[in-house]
Amino acid sequence: MPVNKSMIKTADLAKSFGDNVAVDRLNLEIRKGELYGLVGPDGAGKTTTMRLLAAIMDPSSGDAWVAGSSIITQGELIKEKIGYMSQRFGLYEDLTVMENIVFYADLYDVPQKARSTRIERLLGFSNLAPFQDRLAGKLSGGMKQKLGLACALIHTPEVLFLDEPTNGVDPVSRRDFWKILYDLLKEGVTILVSTAYLDEAERCTRIGLMHKGRILIENEPKKIRNSLDISMIEVWSDNARSLVAPVKTIHGVTQVGLYGDRLHISLEKNTAVAGIINDLKQMGIEVKDFREILPSLEDVFIAMVEK
């Protein structure tokens, strides 16, 4: 791996399962101290990418380096440098919070001298100190995720892999979880997180929109939202779902997205908003309100997939 500040770098990384291409010649570079988000729906290749980078499985072709070590020739060394939290993290539900953390400390050969300080810090970090004697099986979903994170951090990794860590977790616990990640960033930990939640992607320093094993576009979330050189209007109307198809037929409309009782309507360049609103009314569509907006990450993702 070339000498630079990259903590994760891939070179045409690929993985196939028979005829199914899960990761398709992926070229990715993540710098030290970044919180990078792999964003995409189920089946996009996010989990397979994580497993490849964690040296859990071998690639079909290509290579990758994590903290300077090759996933092909130095897999065991990589495992010492990373924390990996899979979608179903291996907590032992019949053990207490403290017993789970101690078990992972044993697993990673954490020195006895450093244990008490690290464990005390992680319990405080995750707000689990009052629950250290509770069985893991009796914890809420959000608390289980925090415990999983504490176990993944017990050996002070340089790189942290989190595979959809807040999937199925309530909004308050999701917020708390991301607050912990921001604290880790301040300590210089490099974090790669996968998520299907596009609102969470906004929290990352940089994201890659992934589809069918490839990165369609990557950049800071705000820059990605600004990358679509189109104007967009948000329209409120009753029965918005039934209006998607007819609105698509209006001249100057390139794309229509449904958001509850609102439509996000993408327009061709130099298309007058007033003209579109007039066309909607002529079609008998009641427009309760409308405004010009910037495309959301979801708008960008849909537009790129359709291309």
DSSP state of 33: T
Q: How many helices (H) and strands (E) does the chain have?
A: 11, 15
Residues 211 and 235 in one domain: no
Question: Does residue 178 sit in the same domain as residue 154?
Answer: yes
Whether residue 103 sits in one domain with residue 159: yes
What CATH number corresponds to the domain at position 163?
A: 3.40.50.300
pLDDT at 2: 40
Higher pLDDT, 172 or 106: 106
Amino acid at 258: L
221 & 235 share domain = no
Q: Give the end of a domain, one of 225, 252, 275.
A: 225
Task: Return the pLDDT at 30.
Answer: 97
Residue 307: the pLDDT is 67
Tokens representing 126 are: 């995750």
pLDDT in tens, 12-57: 999 999 999 999 999 999 999 999 999 998 899 999 999 999 999 9
Contact (Cβ atoms closer than 8 angstroms) between residue 156 and residue 118:
yes
Residue from 23, 26, 24, 36 nearest 219 by CA = 36
Domain boundary among 209, 225, 241: 225
Last residue in a domain, options 225, 249, 280: 225
Tokens for 162?
Answer: 């989190």
pLDDT digits (tens, 9 = 90+) for 254-285: 889 888 889 999 898 888 999 999 999 999 88
Same domain, yes or no, for 216 and 261? no
Q: Is the pTM of this model over 0.75?
A: yes
208 neighbors 28 (Cβ within 8 angstroms)? yes
Q: Please report whether residue 260 resides in a domain.
A: yes
Cα separation, 288 vs 235, in Å, equals 8
Res. 3: pLDDT tops 70 = no
Position 246 pLDDT exceeds 50: yes
Whether residues 221 and 237 fall in one domain: no
CB count in 10 Å sphere of residue 52:
27
68 within 8 A of 1, measured Cβ to Cβ? yes
| Structural domain of 245 | 231-306
48 plus 130 within the same structural domain: yes
Asked if 200 and 37 touch (Cβ cutoff 8 Å), the reply is yes
Total domain count, the chain: 2
172 pLDDT band, cuts 50/70/90, is confident
Indicate the SS3 state at residue 69. Answer: strand
Q: For residue 235, with 0-12 CB atoms within 10 Å meaning exposed, 13-18 middle and 19 or more buried, which class applies?
A: buried
| CA–CA dist 101, 120 (Å, integer) | 11
Report yes or no on 1 lying in a domain.
Answer: no
Burial class of 41 by CB neighbour count within 10 A (0 to 12, 13 to 18, 19+): exposed
| pLDDT range class, residue 1, cuts 50, 70, 90 | very low
| Residue 209 counted as domain residue | yes
Per the prediction, the chain carries an average pLDDT of 90
Kind plus residue range of the DSSP H or E element containing 149: helix 141-153
